[in-house]
Structure 1
Amino acid sequence: MTTFKGGQVTLLGNKVKVGDKAPDFTVIDNATAPKTLADYKGKVKLIAAVPSIDTSVCSQESRRFNVDGGSLENTVVLTISNDLPFAQKRWCAAEGLPNAITLSDHKDLSFGMAYGVAIEELRLLSRAVFVVNANDEIVYVEYLDEVTDHPNYEAALEAAKNA
Structure 2
Amino acid sequence: MATFKGNPITLVGPQIKVGDKAPNFTVNKNLLQEVSLADYAGKIKLISVVPSLDTGVCDQQTRRFNEEAAKLGDNVVILTISVDLPFAQARWCGAAGVDKVETLSDYKNRSFGQAYGVLIQEFQLLMRSIFVVDADDTVRYVEYVGEMTEHPNYEAAIEAVKALA
Where on the TM-score scale, by shorter chain, does this alignment land: which range?
A: over 0.9
Question: Counterpart in 2 of 1:34?
Answer: 34
* Residue 144 (structure 2) pairs with residue 149 (structure 1): no
Ranges of 4+ aligned residues in structure 1 off by more than 6 Å: none
Alignment length, in residue pairs? 163
1:31, CA displacement in angstroms? 4.7
Give the equivalent residue in structure 2 for 1:78: 79
| Deviation readout 1:101-159 (Å, 9 max, x if unpaired) | 10000111100000000000000000000000001000000001101100000000000
Structure 1: unaligned runs, 5 residues or longer? none
Q: Is the 8 A contact 2:69 2:100 kept in 1?
A: no
Structure 2 counterpart of 1:25, one-letter code: F
Q: 2:59 maps to which residue?
A: 59
Deviations 1:49-87 (A, max 9, x none): 100011000010001012113431210000000000000
Deviation string, structure 1 residues 5-61 (Cα, Å, up to 9, x no partner): 111100001110000000000000135310100111100000011000110000100
Judging changes above 3 Å, is the alpha-carbon distance between structure 1 residues 70 and 15 closer, same or farther for their aligned structure 2 residues?
A: farther
Residue in structure 2 matched with residue 131 of structure 1 by the alignment: 132
TM-score computed with the length of structure 1 as normaliser: 0.97
Given that 1:32 and 1:85 are in contact with CA atoms closer than 8 Å, whether structure 2 keeps it comes out as no
Q: Is this contact kept in 1: 2:70–2:100, CA < 8 A? A: no
Paired letter, 2:32: T
Report the RMSD for the aligned CA atoms in angstroms: 1.0
In 2, the alpha carbon distance for the partners of 1:102 and 1:2 equals 24
Structure 2 length normalisation: TM-score?
A: 0.96
User: 1:115 matched to which residue of 2?
Assistant: 116
Q: Which residue of 1 aligns with 2:3?
A: 3
Q: What is the CA–CA distance in structure 1 between the aligned matches of 2:141 and 2:37, rounded to whole Å?
A: 16
What SS does the aligned partner of 2:24 have? coil
Q: Which amino acid aligns with 1:144?
A: V
Partners of 2:32 and 2:60 lie apart in 1 by 24
Q: Is 1:129–1:141's contact at 8 Å kept on the other side of the alignment?
A: yes
Point out where structure 2 has 5 or more consecutive residues left out of the alignment: none
Q: Give the share of equivalent positions with the same residue, in percent.
A: 59
Identify the residue that residue 17 of structure 1 maps to in structure 2: 17
